[in-house]
A and B are shown apart, each in its own frame.
Chain A
Amino acid sequence: MTDLGHRRLSTFFFRHPRARLAALLAVPVVWIVGVYLGSLVVLLLSAFWDTNPFTAEVVHELTLDNFRTLFERDVYRDVAWRTIRMAALVTVADAVLAFPIAYYMARVASPRTRNLLVVAVLMPLWANYLVKAYAWRTMLSDGGVINWALGPLGLHFDGYSTVGLWLVFTYLWLPFMILPIYAGLERIPSSLYEASADLGGRSLETFTRVVLPLAFPAVVAGSIFTFSLTLGDYIAPGLITSEQFIGTVIYSIRGEALPVAAAYSLVPIVVMIAYLLVARRLRAFESL
């Protein structure tokens, strides 16, 4: 384009801010709405279709049978509750584990240590998820590290269980909780701590009445990841336990009963959308 042409375009955009906006938004909107949301809608629509009982091909006949199946058979409800419960427990465990180190990084560590710690916390993200899960599988087995360490104490831990899976999930998503909390704590100005001390608050009081409320949105932000990642995971449960979770059910019936799988995926979708709306209310989006 000639220089003059370039300027003309620029002037046009300056005079017509809406056009500028539209030009900016065009590609992302088409991408997110067209590719992503469009695919999602099509998938969810198939929840209203039927399948051929023999070949399992999707038949374009509207039906509510799939939803009826989900309601009538207890297993789907049980699995959903089990998954939500696990997601909640993992979130709590991650928050508890993340807070001390995040606080240490934000407030106590020297700048050099802080940099090293950030790198140290980021590193596990580069270790492959599958390899980590498999390493845990080895650790949790009857002859693995955990039982080897507990052996002399006369204890035995059945690692291939819900508790084992809870440990694995907690481990896998921990960095996603540490980082937002760290950023959130860093955002709290030192002056607030001093002001609180000036007003007579001791460590614990400052913590519970000043720090926690200010850091809370960041905790919620981190919890979005831990909750949603646990809610939909189908690989880790298969490695550690033989219990079914929402993700494993969807994965195992996706070929033969895609409409039921699509209907069932509405459960995590609805849960997460509700979670996101609450999180936005709690100002978590700014802490992401």
Chain B
Amino acid sequence: MSARKYRAARWAALGLLVASLSVVAAGCGGGDDGGSASTEIEGLGSSLEEIQEMAREEGQVNVVQWAGYAQLTDEFKSATGCTVNTKDGGSSDDMISLLQTGEYDGVSASGNASVRLMTTGDVAPINADFIPNYADVQEGIKDQEYNSLDGEPYGVPHGRGPNYLMFRTDVVPEETDSWSVIWDESGPYNGKLSIYDDSIFIADAAVYLKATQPELGIEDPYELDEEQFNAAVDLLKQQAPNVGEYWPGDVAKQIGSYTNGDSVVGTTWPYQYVQLTAADPPVPVKAIKPKEGTTGWSDTWMIYSQAANPNCMYLWMNHMISPEAQAAVAEGFGEAPVNLKACDLTKNPNHCAEYHADDESWWEDVYYWTTPTADCGDDRGEVCKTQEDWEAAWTEIRG
């Protein structure tokens, strides 16, 4: 063959190869559409005794969690025979991706993950008969829109908490009580802000605007129409140059920068606050819920609908709402337990009071993480920004 024909034939063959692969790929690939919402998981026992027996055979449970959530895993292992393997997720998106690899049995999902997981069928409803401790969960947390669908409970509540404003008391005045310190365009701490790196943070901007620009009419920081959304995004774009670090769910990073003084004020989870104050030497920080309110989370342990170790997972869910585990995680992570029997077991007898476990009025201006949808849920109709819009906007905000 002449050189030119040689080359042409080569490219033709390559093209044919790619084309045929495409045909194959078009046929398969892509994600599975949701399964049925049944509590029937393959391999799950049909009675509590059977579950306990089968769990011993399974021997392990693999869960995706927020850092610091799993507690008393050794005791759990001796009691049930299941070794607990945890994987820390950095964000709700991260956790969903991990769960969808099929390698994990369950997840401690926040509202902005749980709603999606329930809709796609990646998680299964629970059968409360097999979870004895479920009866002790606070009634006000059960059957919420972030942990139930079509009237069925989808998981076991874990605990709830606010996203704090945390600042170093040696740099920022102790009396600080407002989010304005991080939103102020020419604030004195610019360059040392520490902000959570996830699109859900747009809700925090909305919370601030709700208080400072009431004319926008923001009620629910997760249901934002065009005007409200753009205002929030503009506020965030204005903040972006002043941010020292966007911490991506890697709590050690934020803890390190507060310790070194690279960050002096920002948004955080109670866990970092507990770690910083318990460090040796302790870092001088204070964490508050500012007067404008804040975003927060009410997390739920959910079981993967195709879990490889469903029996261990059921026992795990039961374990995590037992008073002992609830007390451990409440103090270890710094959140309010959902099983109030734990309040008698915490090392600090005032823990529940300090964390407002029983004070619903305190939680009224804590807006739990949830997934933004087009349906505004009120008389505006379907004009609100979706999860997709939030994600796209966040990439732009980060620059």
A–B touch (CB < 8 A): the answer is: yes
Give CA–CA (A77, B72) in the complex, Å.
48
Distance to closest chain A CB from B30 (angstroms):
5
Q: With A53-B386, A56-B388, A255-B97 as known contacts, state yes or no: A45 contacts B371, CB within 8 Å.
A: no
Q: Can you name the residue of chain B whose Cβ is closest to the Cβ of A143? A: B260
Is B17 interfacial (CB-CB < 8 Å)? yes
Beta-carbon contact of A51 and B388 below 8 Å: yes
Which stretch from B52-60, B160-168, B241-249, B310-318 is at the chain A interface?
A: B241-249
Q: Which residues of B contact A53 (CB under 8 A)?
A: 374, 386-389
Beta-carbon contact of A33 and B17 below 8 Å: yes
Q: Can you name the residue of chain A whose Cβ is closest to the Cβ of B100? A: A255
Interface residues on B, range: 35 or more
Q: Can you name the residue of chain A whose Cβ is closest to the Cβ of B198? A: A252
Chain A interface, number of residues (Cβ within 8 angstroms): 40
Beta-carbon contact of B261 and A257 below 8 Å: no
Bitwise interface map of B from 355 to 390 toward A, beta carbon under 8 Å scored 1, else 0: 000000000000000010110000000000011110
Which stretch from B19-27, B271-279, B299-307, B324-332 is at the chain A interface?
A: B19-27
Is B116 interfacial (CB-CB < 8 Å)? yes
Beta-carbon contact of B97 and A55 below 8 Å: no
- Candidates B17, B96, B243, B388; contact of A257 at CB < 8 Å: B388
Beta-carbon contact of A257 and B29 below 8 Å: no
Q: Which residues of B contact A146 (CB under 8 A)?
A: none
Which stretch from A17-25, A110-118, A204-212, A242-250 is at the chain B interface?
A: A242-250
Give CA–CA (A167, B237) in the complex, Å.
28
Is A78 interfacial (CB-CB < 8 Å)? yes
Give CA–CA (A257, B395) in the complex, Å.
11
Beta-carbon contact of B387 and A58 below 8 Å: no
Give CA–CA (A14, B190) in the complex, Å.
75
Main secondary structure of the interface of B (DSSP, over half): helix
Interface residues of A in 22-60 (CB under 8 A from B): 33, 37-38, 41-42, 45-46, 49, 51, 53-58, 60
Q: Can you name the residue of chain A whose Cβ is closest to the Cβ of B28? A: A42
Beta-carbon contact of A69 and B392 below 8 Å: yes
- Candidates B97, B197, B245, B398; contact of A254 at CB < 8 Å: B97
Beta-carbon contact of A60 and B30 below 8 Å: yes
Give CA–CA (A115, B260) in the complex, Å.
41
Distance to closest chain A CB from B239 (angstroms):
12
Q: Which residues of A contact B245 (CB under 8 A)?
A: 160, 242
Give CA–CA (A252, B97) in the complex, Å.
11
Give CA–CA (A41, B18) in the complex, Å.
8
Q: With A41-B18, A53-B388, A242-B243 as known contacts, state yes or no: A142 contacts B395, CB within 8 Å.
A: no
Is A238 interfacial (CB-CB < 8 Å)? yes
Beta-carbon contact of B395 and A75 below 8 Å: yes
Q: Which residues of A contact B22 (CB under 8 A)?
A: 41, 45
Distance to closest chain B CB from A258 (angstroms):
9
Beta-carbon contact of B261 and A143 below 8 Å: yes
Give CA–CA (A237, B25) in the complex, Å.
33
Q: Which residues of A contact B30 (CB under 8 A)?
A: 46, 49, 58, 60
Beta-carbon contact of B395 and A256 below 8 Å: no
Is A281 interfacial (CB-CB < 8 Å)? no
Interface residues of B in 340-359 (CB under 8 A from A): none
Is A253 interfacial (CB-CB < 8 Å)? yes
Is A239 interfacial (CB-CB < 8 Å)? yes
Q: Which residues of A contact B197 (CB under 8 A)?
A: 242, 252
Give CA–CA (A45, B24) in the complex, Å.
11
Is A16 interfacial (CB-CB < 8 Å)? no
Distance to closest chain A CB from B25 (angstroms):
4
Give CA–CA (A143, B373) in the complex, Å.
44
Beta-carbon contact of B395 and A54 below 8 Å: no
Give CA–CA (A73, B80) in the complex, Å.
53
Interface residues of B in 214-264 (CB under 8 A from A): 243-246, 248, 250, 253, 257, 260-262
Give CA–CA (A244, B394) in the complex, Å.
11
Is B178 interfacial (CB-CB < 8 Å)? no
Beta-carbon contact of B31 and A244 below 8 Å: no
Beta-carbon contact of B248 and A160 below 8 Å: no
Beta-carbon contact of A256 and B396 below 8 Å: no
Interface residues of A in 126-144 (CB under 8 A from B): 141-143
Interface residues of B in 79-129 (CB under 8 A from A): 93-94, 96-97, 116, 119-120
Is B33 interfacial (CB-CB < 8 Å)? yes
Q: Which residues of B contact A141 (CB under 8 A)?
A: 257, 260, 262
Q: Can you name the residue of chain B whose Cβ is closest to the Cβ of A243? A: B399
Q: Can you name the residue of chain A whose Cβ is closest to the Cβ of B97? A: A255
Interface residues of B in 24-56 (CB under 8 A from A): 25-26, 29-31, 33
Beta-carbon contact of A255 and B94 below 8 Å: yes
Q: With A253-B391, A256-B388 as known contacts, state yes or no: A160 contacts B262, CB within 8 Å.
A: yes
Distance to closest chain A CB from B95 (angstroms):
9
Beta-carbon contact of A78 and B399 below 8 Å: yes
Distance to closest chain B CB from A276 (angstroms):
15
Give CA–CA (A41, B25) in the complex, Å.
8
Distance to closest chain A CB from B28 (angstroms):
9
Beta-carbon contact of A142 and B262 below 8 Å: yes
Q: Which residues of B contact A255 (CB under 8 A)?
A: 93-94, 96-97
Give CA–CA (A84, B18) in the complex, Å.
28
Distance to closest chain B CB from A35 (angstroms):
12
Beta-carbon contact of A54 and B29 below 8 Å: no
Which residues of B are in contact with A by a Cβ distance under 8 Å? Answer: 17-18, 21-22, 25-26, 29-31, 33, 93-94, 96-97, 116, 119-120, 197, 243-246, 248, 250, 253, 257, 260-262, 371, 373-374, 386-389, 391-392, 395-396, 398-399
Q: List 12 A-B contacts (CB under 8 A).
A: A41-B25, A49-B30, A55-B116, A56-B96, A56-B388, A58-B31, A73-B395, A78-B399, A79-B399, A160-B262, A242-B244, A257-B391
Given A56-B388, A257-B392, list of 9 further CB < 8 A pairs? A46-B30, A53-B374, A56-B387, A73-B396, A75-B396, A78-B399, A143-B260, A252-B197, A256-B387
